[in-house]
Amino acid sequence: MPSYKAPVDEFKFILKDFLKVLDYTDTPGFESVDGELIDQILENGAKFYEEVWAPLNMVGDEQGCTLENGVVRTPEGFKDAFQQAAAGGWNSLSIPEAFGGAGLPDILSSCIAEMGNSSNQSLAMYGGLSMAALWSLMALGNDFQKSVIVPKLVAGEWTGTMNLTEPHCGTDLKLMKTKAVAQDDGTYRITGTKIFISGGDHDLTDNIIHMVIAKVPDDHGKLNDSLGAVNFFMVPKFLINEDGSIGEANGVSTGSIEKKMGIKGNATCVLNYDNAIAYKVPESQPKAASAGGEKKSSVSGMAGMFLMMNGARMGVGMQGYAQSEVAYQNAALYANDRLQGRSLSGAKNPDGAADPIIVFPDVRRMLMMSRAFTEGARALHMWLSFLGTSASKSTNPEEQMASGEISNLLTPVIKGYLTDMGFHCTNAAMQCFGGHGFIREHGMEQFVRDSRINQIYEGANGVQALDLLGRKVFANGMQGTNAFFNMIDEEISGAVGVDRLDGMAQSLGRGISDLKAATHWVAENALVNREQAGAASYDYMTMFGTVALGLMWLKMMKVATSKLDSSEGDAAFLNSKIAHGNFWAQKMLPDTASLLVKIQAGSDVLMELDASAF
Amino acid sequence: MPSYKAPVDEFKFILKDFLKVLDYTDTPGFESVDGELIDQILENGAKFYEEVWAPLNMVGDEQGCTLENGVVRTPEGFKDAFQQAAAGGWNSLSIPEAFGGAGLPDILSSCIAEMGNSSNQSLAMYGGLSMAALWSLMALGNDFQKSVIVPKLVAGEWTGTMNLTEPHCGTDLKLMKTKAVAQDDGTYRITGTKIFISGGDHDLTDNIIHMVIAKVPDDHGKLNDSLGAVNFFMVPKFLINEDGSIGEANGVSTGSIEKKMGIKGNATCVLNYDNAIAYKVPESQPKAASAGGEKKSSVSGMAGMFLMMNGARMGVGMQGYAQSEVAYQNAALYANDRLQGRSLSGAKNPDGAADPIIVFPDVRRMLMMSRAFTEGARALHMWLSFLGTSASKSTNPEEQMASGEISNLLTPVIKGYLTDMGFHCTNAAMQCFGGHGFIREHGMEQFVRDSRINQIYEGANGVQALDLLGRKVFANGMQGTNAFFNMIDEEISGAVGVDRLDGMAQSLGRGISDLKAATHWVAENALVNREQAGAASYDYMTMFGTVALGLMWLKMMKVATSKLDSSEGDAAFLNSKIAHGNFWAQKMLPDTASLLVKIQAGSDVLMELDASAF
């Protein structure tokens, strides 16, 4: 069975040295944060996820979920482990105290969420989707929802879900057929079928709060295909009495659960809504006098959905590197343990029958790629989560102005690039095991199968790439993009010629230059032909992610260099940071050159064939 | 359930237009080949594998193999399907008539073998490994083995296996512990444990011929760690009487079968040998008078193993593109069928609720990559299989001299690059399905799981990369490498400035220039520091494969252009060839530039950290 050790030293480095969160104790939300609290949370969290959740990961994969007589059962041990996490408050660290959480900064709950996803992604998803539901209710819910339902979700007494996809309709919401009909009492009745609902039903808690998008019929009772008809609803599995107790079953039932490639411990449900009682979120506004019905409030409903989805996209990006973290750990242990062959530069274990395979450059290539990605990805994710806070103190006016824009810009990169590379690196970690990696008992192939979903759900990565180039890069006069590019230029200019940093500065310099050239090329060419943006989008997202991780590595290398220069901290740890940064500079950033050529090749080669030729 | 249509038109194009096999009817082995025979074999084979084998692929995955009371059972329908293939002679098309085959050229059985692997890789492996065993017995066996055992393998009455790996020993044969002790009657007794034995036991046939490597103890009865002690043996599951009938059980039993990520329909066995009667292949030679025991014959034994392994490596390379072929087919159907969103350049299906996703450039990118890879890979594999024959008539003296060298050179590229890209493209095909790709019933995720083994078995791809750069590229004064590079230069020089070919000629020109620069860099630097070869090897193999497929595409584009110019053949088919060749030129070949930079970055970044840092 594979092992998992939460990377506590990494988290401490990111929090204390990289983001310097202890400098922010005069900032709202950070008042109670000190070094000891951070250590205590990380160490206790680590112990819990290592000891309670990780051992259940293979159990979940072997047993999967079952549906019998309409009841979904999760794998053995999941209910207890879920409830222990809830009781420990691990899911609600950063929820405001008013809602029953600990009121700590998001950046701390990020570390805990990663531990949950590394130790057991399937189990983590039940609570993760509750978070998505409760964020939208905290933001848009009415008093009852905020005061009664949100605290139940925070406490882990109930869970939440997101209901978007239908059999014929994933990305294209206009095709949606699920119907929400307004009632005189202000509620709605929802009828339709939703699929791919993660944690859509289970036996972990007594109630489930489904957040559902559905179409409100027009004045003629018809579903039209405008996005304005799409609204956002709360539909509890069991109705909720005024005192918060559970009432009658609502009109929602589980049609089936999917047999999947991975994340088998999470029940992926087909949910059938049959006149289910639904509550509009936010509550219905009076109809506008003009035509168009409830347009105003439906826009807010879409906003609620996007709020939920953006949080979920950040969460999925994290799942990408959470899987490569645990896969890397096991591959590194194996590479130090497995004796096979001899080093090309002379025996390194002369008294043994053979050398450990860590002596081979190509094994190190796979391991260093995984680790350089994982640590860079974690830095990017946490840096972005902290950007609003750090910008409030930044001396960089652009960072200050543009933190929201940069956050929007990087969200599809976090989801798309981090899950692509997460899968790629998890797969490389499996490869280090040779034939043993293909055998289930080692657990490596489960990481690969579980990791694969991250490239798909919350918008397939091709959709993320199109979102990046179609909606984000050129938005608002490129304010966010220019701010981000300027940050990179500035970071490079402070590193050129500096010992231990110059190599990365040069390499990142070529990377950002390629990225600017690609951006410029798309801006010019997509104006003439919009297919150019679609054709460029995937390579562009890959290039963007490669450069963004380069920025993180340069920043981390600066911290490590400065600590080494002042003989602070663990030298082995800091030298590893510099070595992995150099790996990113020398073995990953060079990709931008080829990606630029491919982008500039344009869309004709893709579009010239007739559809019937495929 | 996914579908499979054998790519008969592709095979016809490769055989008739690309390799022009009908020009070789005066060449030994090709006397009876004519266009009608080719069509008949391809069409009947297609019908058989589409209708009989393909429907069992998911059955094999769902049911897997079982071991009960020492007996291995294969999935429902496998035995009948295996026996139908044997009765149809599909496995033995290219085996000499003297051994019971049809005596047709290998190039024809290549097409049939691909159909077997696309329709059902797990089932194909049972017969595929029989081929590996029978090749080695045809080459090195004694009269009894050739006259009695080989025909049984040819007829599919028995199957064969390859036994190399042990629990502690995969690549490093020196660590082997399985022992073969010589008996006075010239036989040996083998004791030890072999693992990962594909088709190691099953219920398809009455007997199994295990080809086993084991160490013969030295004169003191000890196993030393020299490769000279490694010998090659035949060990039947049941002993064989002189008349070919089956006798007593031999001392080999199935310890367990592995639970695996994929290829679940193939029984991967742990085989325990306990004093099993074994026959040395080739038969023992008299001991040399000098020390070193049976060194002479053991060299031949290793040669037998490499003969078997080289054949197997070519077979695995084929499995790489056989999986991407069937995965591509299903993704292309889905992309034409699934309605979602609208084209960026205006509705293409205005009467429908949405456009099919084939209108999106990024979906086309995934499909065209898969198809350009698959068709290029097939061309490379078949071109290489045919090289000995075509060289005999070539006007290119280097090709004539060096066909054997080129074949050795490209074997690790076929195994490594074709299975890496096969997995990558199969995975891309799955991605086209969005969330539905993750669901087992669509069958796409099975293709990904099955395809994953190809990067591992018969030598993990990192080992292939090291073989390419460590043993092949610089072998024999680079005769094969130079010949191959010269062929590419010559092919380019005939295409520069030619309509429809110039783009590829330019792009391939940059590719071969990068590949030569990489070769030169490694030659210079690995002399000083051997780790440089190890560090460069993987990127080098990827670059080599990318360029080799570029050569194939340029050759195919020439054929297509010439046929279009003379209004021969199906214009849509030929235009698709040119479009996919252009895809390779514009979207794949540019990778060589980045790979060269990574290679030239050298090994220091990989080797500087202590093993304990991982």
Q: What integer pLDDT is reported at residue B296 of this predicted model?
A: 47
Structural contact between residues B516 and B485, judged by C-beta atoms closer than 8 angstroms: yes
DSSP string, B451-462: HHGGGTSSS-HH
Strands A238-240 and A246-249: antiparallel
Nearest CA among A398, A564, A554 for reference residue A487: A398
Complex ipTM:
0.96
Are A381 and A421 spatial neighbours (Cβ–Cβ below 8 Å)? Answer: no
Does the domain spanning A158-296 belong to CATH 3.90.1010.10? Answer: no
Q: What pLDDT, on a 0 to 100 scale, did the predictor assign at position B295?
A: 44
Cα dihedral value B218, B220, B224, B228, nearest 10: -20
pLDDT, chain A, mean: 94
For A315, counting Cβ atoms within 10 Å of its Cβ (0-12 exposed, 13-18 middle, 19+ buried), the class is: buried
Decide if A175 and B340 are in contact by the 8 Å CB cutoff.
yes
The third-level CATH classification (topology) of the domain covering B160-297 is: Butyryl-CoA Dehydrogenase, subunit A; domain 2 (2.40.110)
- Which sign, positive or negative, has the C-alpha torsion A313, A319, A325, A328? negative
Hey, which CATH number is domain B8-66+74-153, 3.30.540.10, 3.30.60.50, 2.40.10.10, 1.10.540.10? 1.10.540.10
Q: Which residues in chain B (170-189) have CB-CB distances under 8 A to chain A? A: 170-172, 174-175
Position A450 scores a pLDDT of 98
Contacts of residue A41, Cβ cutoff 8 Å, sequence gap at least 6: A93, A104, A108, A111, A112
For residue range A546-578, list pLDDT tens digits in order: 999 999 999 999 999 999 999 999 999 999 999
For the residues A376-383, what does the mean pLDDT come to? 98
A297, pLDDT greater than 80: no
CA B246 to CA B248: how far, in whole Å? 7
**What's this model's pTM, rounded to 2 decimal places?**
0.97
Q: Are strands A188-198 and A179-182 parallel, antiparallel or unpaired?
A: antiparallel
As a whole number, mean pLDDT of residues A430-449 equals 98
Cβ partners under 8 Å of residue B477, min gap 6: none
Q: What is the mean pLDDT of residues A229-244?
A: 95
Judging by beta carbons within 10 Å of its beta carbon (0-12, 13-18, 19+), is residue B557 exposed, middle or buried? buried
CA angle (A579, A583, A589) in 5-degree steps = 145
**Tokens found for residue B198:** 């594909």
Token pair 């030619």 is found at: B498
In this complex, do B362 and A538 lie within 8 Å of one another by their Cβ atoms?
Answer: yes
Judge whether B540 is closer than 8 Å to chain A, CB to CB.
no
What whole-number distance in Å separates Cα of residue B388 and Cα of residue B199? 31
CATH class, range A8-153: mainly alpha
Nearest by CB to residue B614, choosing from A340, A367, A601, is A367
Chain A partners within 8 Å of B557 (Cβ)? none
- CA distance, residue A109 to nearest chain B CA (Å): 27
Question: Which residues of chain B have a pLDDT value below 70?
Answer: 284-300, 398-399
How much of chain A exceeds pLDDT 70, in percent?
97
Q: Is B545 exposed, middle or buried (0-12, 13-18, 19+ CB in 10 A)?
A: buried
pLDDT of B298: 52
- Output the pLDDT for position B235: 98
Q: For residue B526, what is the nearest residue in chain A, using CA coordinates?
A: A344
**Residue for token digits 């009947």?**
B44
Query: What token pair was written down for B470?
Result: 């460590």
Q: Looking at the partner chain, which of B196, B258, B438 has a beta carbon nearest the beta carbon of A452?
A: B438
Point out the least confidently predicted range of A46-50, A70-74, A355-359, B397-401.
Answer: B397-401
Comparing A386-395, A504-513, B493-502, B541-550, the range with the smallest average pLDDT is: A386-395
Q: One fold for both B8-66+74-153 and B160-297?
A: no
Q: Which amino acid is at B305?
A: M
CA distance A389 to chain B (A): 33
3-class DSSP state of A22: helix
Q: Show the tokens assigned to B505.
A: 């000629």
Write the secondary structure of B559-583 as one string of H (helix), E (strand) and C (coil).
Answer: HHHHHHHCCCCCHHHHHHHHHHHHH
pLDDT of residue A387: 92
Boundaries of every domain in chain A: 8-153, 158-296, 475-607
**Cβ neighbours around B289 below 10 Å, total:** 5
Residue to substitute from A125, A336, A344, interface B, most B β-carbons within 10 A:
A344
Name the closest residue on chain A to residue B463, using Cα atoms: A362
Cβ burial of B510 (10 Å; 0-12, 13-18, 19+) is middle
For A123-140, how does the pLDDT look when each residue is reduced to its tens digit (9 = 90+)? 999 999 999 899 999 999
Alpha-carbon distance of B395 to B25, in angstroms, equals: 18
Q: What's the mean pLDDT in A383-410?
A: 85
Tens of pLDDT, residue by residue over B136-164, are 999 999 999 999 999 999 999 999 999 99
3-state SS, B107-122, equals HHHHHHHHHHHHHCHH
Q: Please check the confidence at residue A299 and state whether its pLDDT lies above 60.
A: no
- Mean pLDDT, residues A398-418 taken together: 90
Residue type, B576: S
Listing DSSP states for B513-530 in one string gives: HHHHHHHHHHHHHHHH-T
Q: Using the CB atoms, write b or e for A144-157: b if 16+ within 10 Å.
A: ebbebbbbbbbbbb
Q: What is the pLDDT of residues A322-363, one digit of tens each?
A: 999 999 999 999 999 999 999 989 999 999 999 999 999 999
Give me the pLDDT at residue A285, please: 57
| A89 to A83, A182, A316: CA distances (angstroms) | 10, 38, 21
Determine the pLDDT at residue B258.
97
Look at residue A157 and tell me whether its pLDDT is greater than 70: yes
